[in-house]
Structure 1
């Protein structure tokens, strides 16, 4: 990693780790995967029309909770490292002490890839039975899905789509701002 990029990552991680609102936001966000897991367990047999919907909520909730708790642990560790680096000063041999924990980022990548794949599968499972019967029909009792379960699964997917769109927009805007900053920083319009 180049020195400039590494320093930029250091500043970014420092800002995120020291931001209390981000930490409280993660705690608040932890409620969603925990609720997903709870609803998945409670309604495991309540959607014979597509039995993978409660399993989608259960597994997604457990892995999502694990991911958020791992993020909270990493931020707590980062705050500890930052406070030590302020106390010790910059005379330390290792300017970026979290390099030793770089393997944890691989765990984050694997969990994120799994959650993204699970999200795509969840879209298929939920919308493949779009608008199922919410009351078991007399002649086909296995072609229904509990309304609260189905509506919650659609809500989770809609929220996930919204967050994904927001992240993509923010990434695109950040890229555009960096591009404009680099372009305006050049002295193409200098005086002769």
Structure 2
């Protein structure tokens, strides 16, 4: 990374780590993967028409809980490093404390890629049996899915789609703002 980009990244991390609302939001968000784990484990045999739905909830909940817990740990660790750090100079390795924990970056990337692939697969599993029988038919008792399980899985997917769209919109907006800001900072001045 260039020095300017790295300093901007450091300031951004510092703001996020020092924001108590962000930390409280992550703690609240932890409730979703924990609930997914509980529902998936409790209803592992309640959807014979698509047995991957409770498995999606169970594994997605466990990995999601791990991801959010690691994010919380990293933010708390970053808060303690930032409160103790003193910026000495541009060549000081301690100026950017996250450099010392680069392996955590790879763990986050692997967990994120897994969760994204799992999300794509879950869309197939859930929506391939869209509106299944919620009561087991007499002549085919294996072609049903418990209503509360299925509705919860659809809710989780719709919520995930919503968050993904919001993140993409925010990312596009930040990108646009940074381009406009860069043009204003380095653009031509008509007064000269």
- TM-score greater than 0.5 by the shorter chain: yes
**Cα distance, 1:111 vs. partner?**
0.2
Deviations 1:84-129 (A, max 9, x none): 11xxx33384211221101101100000000000000000000000
Equivalent residue runs for 1:50-129 within 5 Å: 50-85=50-85, 89-91=86-88, 93=92, 94-129=94-129
Q: How many residues in Structure 1 have an aligned counterpart in Structure 2?
A: 189
CA RMSD of aligned residues (A): 1.1
Q: Report SS of the residue matched to 2:144.
A: coil
CA drift of 1:145 comes to 0.2
Aligned twin of 1:10: 10
The answer to whether structure 1 residue 25 and structure 2 residue 25 are counterparts is: yes
For structure 1, the residue ranges without an aligned partner over 5 or more in a row are none
Q: Give the Cα–Cα distance (whole angstroms) in 2 for the partners of residues 17 and 187 of structure 1.
A: 33
TM-score (norm 1): 0.95
* Bigger shift: residues 96-105 or 128-137: 96-105
Determine if the alignment matches structure 1 residue 160 to structure 2 residue 153. no
SS in 1 for 2:139: coil
Aligned mates of 1:118, 1:180 — CA distance in 2: 36
**Alignment check: 8 A CA contact 2:78 2:97 kept:** no
Q: Is the 8 A contact 2:133 2:144 kept in 1?
A: yes
TM-score by length of 2: 0.95
State the shift of 1:66 in Å: 0.2
Per-residue deviation, 1:40: 0.3
Q: Distance in 2 between matches of 1:185 and 1:91?
A: 27
